[in-house]
Amino acid sequence: MAHDGRSPEEGRLRITLLGRGAWGSTLARLWSAAGHELAVWSRRDGGSAAGLLAGSDLVVAAVSMSAISPLGRELAPHWREGLPLLSCSKGIDPERLGTASQLWTHWLGQQPLAVLSGPNLADELDRGLPAASVIASADAELARHLQIALRAPNLRLYTNDDPIGTEAAGALKNVMALAAGISDGLGLGANAKASLLTRGLAEIALVLAALGGQPATLYGLAGLGDLLATANSPLSRNYRFGGLLAEGRDESAALAGIGATVEGPRTARATLQLARGRDLSLPICEQVVELLEGRCDARTAVQRLMQRDPRPEALG
């Protein structure tokens, strides 16, 4: 890597990948097939990942949001100066009300950092279907190096300089995908779903701006692109989770039905905390949380959205 004397064009990277979930496992397979040397670690394997850092050119974090702070605290004393981190987690932390990269920066300081996000359903990539994603970093050189090094035959990579906006869009689309699953689960039709997702974009725009992201990011791969993929596919856990809520299951039963991490509920709650502190109006997020908390059923949540006071249309 350019940050420690190596260049991706010179050969394979030694990558430490944190997380063995669906997305982490997919990335490991893609990059192993591309010739990179992978050391994959998961908490369920036991032991610490700290011993893997010394021989790494790049660390990739594909863990849940709840896992970042414990990992950051554990790895910070062992982190080599200049070792880059690529964060692939999507969500808003309920304690610090920040994104994944902001959490990592809290623990690691100003180490080279980039974000990977986009419309990337792991199952489709595993089947060799084409996809695109964005590597976002304030360090343009790092973003360009990773773009070249980590590309794969069925994964095209773009870059931007807005990691926070990229993460905010990627986090909030999970909430909107959950809401889309509710809409489809209730059989509300294409008109309702199109309206829901359009107003969902307006809510994402408000949160993106509040966190300091760039407006244009909303319409890129990590924003509109990711929303279109996850709000329309049963491969999306958040979408399927919304469908289970529409059936009348409570949050615990719906999570059990998915059997894997679903970031939408945690993100919705954290986003509402953020909204209250900044006087943001996020009615879709609000009704999702009302439903999660058992204060209404799915049809009542939809009715409340439809009965809101008339207002001009505005994106953000």
| Beta pairing class for 37-41 and 85-87 | unpaired
Q: Which of 26-40, 42-56, 139-153, 178-192 has the lowest mean pLDDT?
A: 42-56
For residues 270 and 251, membership in a common domain is answered with yes
Q: Domain count of the chain?
A: 2
Q: Is the pLDDT of residue 9 over 50?
A: no
Q: Is the pLDDT of residue 137 over 90?
A: yes
Q: What is the CATH number of the domain that holds 50?
A: 3.40.50.720
Tell me if 316 is assigned to some domain: no
Residue 316 has a pLDDT of: 53
Tell me if 166 is assigned to some domain: no
For residues 94 and 157, membership in a common domain is answered with yes
Q: Is the pLDDT of residue 119 over 60?
A: yes
Q: What is the CATH number of the domain that holds 202?
A: 1.10.1040.10
Phi-psi region of 282 (alpha: psi -120 to 50; beta: other; left: phi over 0): beta
Could you tell me the pTM of the whole model? Answer: 0.91
Q: Is the pLDDT of residue 16 over 80?
A: yes
Tell me if 313 is assigned to some domain: no
210 or 306, which is more confident? 210
For residues 205 and 141, membership in a common domain is answered with no
Residue 143 has a pLDDT of: 98
Tell me if 270 is assigned to some domain: yes
For the segment 31-37, the average pLDDT, to the nearest whole number, is: 95
For residues 16 and 154, membership in a common domain is answered with yes
Of 161, 183, 212, which one is at a domain's C-terminal end?
A: 161
Record the tokens describing residue 248, joined without a space.
């009348």
Residue 42 has a pLDDT of: 94
Read off the pLDDT of residues 163-201 as tens digits, 9 standing for 90 and up. 999 999 999 999 999 999 999 999 999 999 999 999 999
| Active-site option among 173, 237, 240, 269 | 173
Residue 45 has a pLDDT of: 86
For the segment 46-62, the average pLDDT, to the nearest whole number, is: 94
For the segment 291-311, the average pLDDT, to the nearest whole number, is: 89
Phi-psi region of 155 (alpha: psi -120 to 50; beta: other; left: phi over 0): beta
Q: What average pLDDT does the structure give for the chain? A: 93
Tell me if 229 is assigned to some domain: yes
Residue 77 has a pLDDT of: 96
* Contact call for residues 34 and 157 (beta carbons, < 8 A): no
Check if 193 is active-site: no
Residue 308 has a pLDDT of: 80
Of 161, 187, 209, which one is at a domain's C-terminal end?
A: 161
For residues 244 and 121, membership in a common domain is answered with no
For residues 213 and 252, membership in a common domain is answered with yes
For residues 199 and 142, membership in a common domain is answered with no
CA 175, CA 262: separation in Å to the nearest integer? 10
For residues 146 and 181, membership in a common domain is answered with no
Residue 66 has a pLDDT of: 94
Q: Is the pLDDT of residue 1 over 60?
A: no
- Confidence band, pLDDT 50/70/90 cuts, at residue 47: confident
- Least Cα distance to 87 among 145, 4, 27, 5 occurs for 27
For residues 243 and 141, membership in a common domain is answered with no
Of 129, 161, 193, which one is at a domain's C-terminal end?
A: 161
For residues 111 and 192, membership in a common domain is answered with no
Tell me if 265 is assigned to some domain: yes
Read off the pLDDT of residues 246-287 as tens digits, 9 standing for 90 and up. 999 999 999 999 999 999 999 999 999 999 989 999 999 999
Residue 108: which domain range? Answer: 2-161
Q: Is the pLDDT of residue 10 over 60?
A: no
Read off the pLDDT of residues 230-250 as tens digits, 9 standing for 90 and up. 999 999 999 999 999 999 999
Tell me if 315 is assigned to some domain: no
Tell me if 185 is assigned to some domain: yes
For the segment 9-34, the average pLDDT, to the nearest whole number, is: 90
For residues 88 and 221, membership in a common domain is answered with no
For residues 73 and 192, membership in a common domain is answered with no
